[in-house]
């Protein structure tokens, strides 16, 4: 899959008020679902469920939250840069400011 199909310009944002990890995951869900309220809630729940299994932070301020869903026929991605880093429970204890959600 070409990167342009996975990650469109509309799904790349700067979050100026990221809040906490759950708010970041909710923002990612909105981007991934193009703001469809019903799908946003389902994708947000799936991202939080996966995160509860173990942090998706890979260190050095980067997290890659992800989940599976039958909502789409192909993979989708969203990239969020956080103006204020957020604790994702990374092993290196570094707060996250770059998020690539799938």
Length of the chain: 102
CA distances from 89 to 27, 47, 51, 99 (A): 18, 15, 10, 13
Alpha carbon 62 to its chain centroid, in Å, reads: 11
Residue 66 is a catalytic residue: yes
Q: How many other C-beta atoms are found inside a 10 Å radius of the C-beta of residue 27?
A: 22
Catalytic residue among 60, 66, 84, 93: 66
Among candidate residues 74, 76, 71, 78, the one with its CA nearest the CA of residue 38: 71
Q: Which residues are catalytic?
A: 66
């Amino acid at each position: 899959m070409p990167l342009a199909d996975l990650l469109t310009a509309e799904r790349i944002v700067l979050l100026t008020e990221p809040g906490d990890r759950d708010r970041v995951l909710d923002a990612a869900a909105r981007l991934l679902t193009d703001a469809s309220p019903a799908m946003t809630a389902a994708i947000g729940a799936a991202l939080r469920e996966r995160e509860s299994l173990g942090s998706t932070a890979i260190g050095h301020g980067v997290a890659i939250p992800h989940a599976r869903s039958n909502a789409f026929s192909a993979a989708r991605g969203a990239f969020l840069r956080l103006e204020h880093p957020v604790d994702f429970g990374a092993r290196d204890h570094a707060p996250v400011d770059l998020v690539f959600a799938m």
